[in-house]
Amino acid sequence: MTSELTNTTTRSIRTTLEMIKIEHTLFALPFALLGAVLAARGLPPVRQLLWITVAMVGARSAAMAFNRIADHKYDAANPRTSGRAIPAGLLSLKFAWAFTLASAALFFVAASMLNRLTLLLAPVALASVLLYSYTKRFTSLSHLALGWCLCIAPAGAWIAVRGAIDSPVPLLLSLVVLLWTAGFDVLYACQDYDFDRRAGLRSIPARVGIPAALRISRLLHAGAFAALVALYSAATPGALALVGVVATGVLLVYQHSLVRADDLSRLNAAFFTTNAFVSVILFVTFGGAVFVGKL
C-alpha cells in the first residue's frame, strides 16, 4: 500500500513538473542570476540569491500552469498538444488552479522578502506572465509579449539587489532577453501554423506564412545580438564576456541553420538545445568576467 502511494505521488509530481516544463527554467533563471551578479558587481548575499530563485520559480510555475488552464481546449484540439496533462486527464483543472494560486503566493512571499520596490512591482510582473496566455486570441505580436514576460527577470533581479534601476545595464540585458525570446518563439510557432489558422489563433507565422516568419525571427535575433554588443559596451566586463558575445552569435546563426521553411524537422533541436546554451553561456561568461575583474 505504501509503495503504491509512493508511486502515485511520484507520478503526480512528475506530471506536474512536465505540465510547467520545469526544464525550461534554464532559459530564464540564468538571466535573472546574471542580473543579480551584475547589480552586485560580484556575488550577492546568499539570502538575496535564494529569494530571487524562489521568486523566479514561483512566477514561472504560476504562468505555465495558468497557460495550461487557459489553453486546455485548444491543447485538446491540437494533435501536437493533446497529450498534455489537462486534456489527457492526467491532472484536473481544479488541481491546476490550486497549483497556480500556490505558486503565485510563493512568488509574492519571495518578493516581500527582497525589498519594497520588488514587492510593489510584483503584481505587474505576475499580471504580465498570466495575461500573456490570452495574447494569441487578439494579436500576432504575442511573441513580443512572451519576450516581455521573460525580460522582467533580469531587471527584477537587479531591483531585488539594488532597490532601483540606476544603470542602463539591466535595461540592455532585458532587451537582449526580450528580442531573443521573441525570435525563438516565432520559430517555435511555425510548427502550429496550420492549427493556429484553423483555430483562429494569431501568430506571426499564421499571419505572414512560414518563410516570412523565419526572416522575422532572424531580424529579431539580429536585434538581440546588437543589444548584446551594446550591453558588453555598457558593462565593460572584459575579455571573458566577449567570448560569450561571440559564442552567442555563433549559436544564433547555428539555430537558424537548422530550420528551413520546407523542413521543420530539427525545430526542437534549435529551440531546446541552443536556447539553453545561450542563457547559460552568457551567465558564465558575463558573470565570470565580473569575478575576474574583482580579482
pLDDT at 19: 76
Contact in structure between 92 and 72 (CB atoms under 8 Å): no
pLDDT at 169: 96
Helix (H, G, I), strand (E, B) or coil at 203: coil
Contact in structure between 267 and 188 (CB atoms under 8 Å): yes
Helix (H, G, I), strand (E, B) or coil at 21: coil
Fold classification of 21-294 (topology level): Tetracycline Repressor; domain 2 (1.10.357)
pLDDT at 162: 95
pLDDT at 25: 66
| Residue of 215, 286, 188, 218 whose CA lies nearest to 246 | 286
Give the Cβ contact number of residue 118 at 10 Å.
22
Domain-wise residue ranges, the chain: 21-294
pLDDT at 5: 43
Alpha helices in the chain (DSSP H): 2-19, 25-40, 46-70, 72-77, 93-112, 116-131, 142-162, 168-189, 193-199, 204-208, 210-235, 239-257, 267-268, 274-294
Tens place of pLDDT per residue across the chain (295 aa): 555 545 555 676 787 877 777 666 667 789 999 999 999 999 999 999 999 999 999 999 999 999 999 999 999 999 988 888 898 888 899 999 999 999 999 999 999 999 999 999 999 999 999 999 999 999 999 999 999 999 999 999 999 999 999 999 999 999 999 999 999 999 989 989 999 999 999 999 999 999 999 999 999 999 999 999 999 999 877 889 999 999 999 999 988 888 888 888 877 766 666 777 888 999 999 999 998 876 5
